[in-house]
Amino acid sequence: DAGVTQSPTHLIKTRGQQVTLRCSPKSGHDTVSWYQQALGQGPQFIFQYYEEEERQRGNFPDRFSGHQFPNYSSELNVNALLLGDSALYLCASNSEGLNTEAFFGQGTRLTVV
Amino acid sequence: DAKTTQPNSMESNEEEPVHLPCNHSTISGTDYIHWYRQLPSQGPEYVIHGLTSNVNNRMASLAIAEDRKSSTLILHRATLRDAAVYYCILRVTGTASKLTFGTGTRLQVTL
C-alpha cells in the first residue's frame, strides 16, 4: 500500500501564476482534505472533498479551488499566486465516518517568487 | 472549533517516559481527543485518540481527565525517533472530519 501520494514534491512559481497540486489517497479511502502549512505553524484546513463534492471549507479565498475525481484522487488549484502562498501543502485521506484516523502525504513544497 | 493549549516545547532524555499535556477546557461532550505528530520534513502522523476512557496502543497511551478538560499523551520510553511536533486536536462532530491544528509541542529527545 503506497499510502497517500502527492505530486510534485517541490515547485517554484512566479507571482500571479496558477498552480495545480495532485493527491492520490490511501487505498480504500474516499475522503480527501487539503491543508496549508506555513513555516513554523501547524497545518491549516483548506477544504475537504467527498463524493466529488466540496463538503467543508476553511477560511481561504476563492483563489483556492479543488476537485475530486471518481477514483477519489484530488487536485488543489491556486490562482493568482501571492508570495504568502508559499507553504507546504498537505493532502490527507480517510474513510467516511466519524473519528477515523487521517493519513497524510509528504506534502508539496510550493515557493512563490 | 474548540481550542487546545499545549506547551511550546519539552525536552526528554532517551529511554525515559514523556508526558505531553494538553488543556481543552471548552471541549464538548462528543468531541474526541486526537493526537498527531509531525516528524521533520514529513506530513503529520496519527498517534492515538480517545473519548473518555484512557487508551493504549503500540505507539503511546492517552490519559484523559475525568472532566475531559485536559489530557496527557504518554510515550513510555522516548527514543531519538520520537523527536517531533506533537499536536493535540479536538475532532469536530458531524460527518466532516477536518482537523484543527494548533502550534503543538516540539519534543526534543537527547541522549
Per the DSSP assignment, residues forming a β-bridge with A19 are: A78
pLDDT at B93: 59
Residue A4 — pLDDT band, cuts 50, 70, 90? very high
Tell me whether B44 touches chain A (CB under 8 Å).
yes
Q: Does B8 touch chain A (CB under 8 A)?
A: no
Question: Got the DSSP string for A78-107?
Answer: E-S--GGG-EEEEEEEE-SSTTPPPEE---
Cell of A11: 515547485
Shortest Cα distance, chain B CAs vs residue A63, angstroms: 20
Give percent helix, percent strand, percent coil of chain A, each to the nearest 5.
5, 50, 45
- The count of C-alpha atoms lying within 13 angstroms of the C-alpha of B96, restricted to the half-sphere facing its C-beta, is 18
Q: Confidence class of residue A95 from pLDDT cuts 50, 70 and 90? A: confident
Block means of pLDDT (10 residues each) for chain B, 111 residues, are 89 96 92 94 94 93 97 97 96 71 95 90
Residue range A9-67, pLDDT digits in tens: 999 999 999 999 999 999 989 999 999 999 999 999 999 999 999 999 999 999 999 99
B103/A48 CB distance under 8 A? no
Residue of A nearest to B38 (CA): A42
* Section A61-76 average pLDDT: 97
CA distances from A47 to A27, B6, B93 (A): 20, 25, 16
Residues of chain B contacting A45 with CB distance shorter than 8 Å: 98-100
Sole residue written with cell 511536533: B85
C-alpha cell at A71: 477514483
Contact A99 B91 (CB under 8 A): yes
Tell me what pLDDT residue A96 has. 73
Cβ within 8 Å, pair A42-B103: yes
Q: What is the pLDDT of residue A101?
A: 85
Mutate one of B97, B99, B100 to test the A interface: name it (highest A CB count within 10 A): B97
Give pLDDT, residue B98. 83
Mutate to test the interface with A, among B34, B85, B98 (most CBs of A within 10 A): B98
The CA-based angle A46-B23-B89, given to 5 degrees, is: 25
Question: Which of A31, A45, A107 lies nearest to residue B99, judging by beta carbons?
Answer: A45
**Is the Cβ pair A42, B104 closer than 8 Å?**
yes
Check whether A99 has a pLDDT greater than 60. no
Chain B: residue whose CA lies nearest to A94: B97
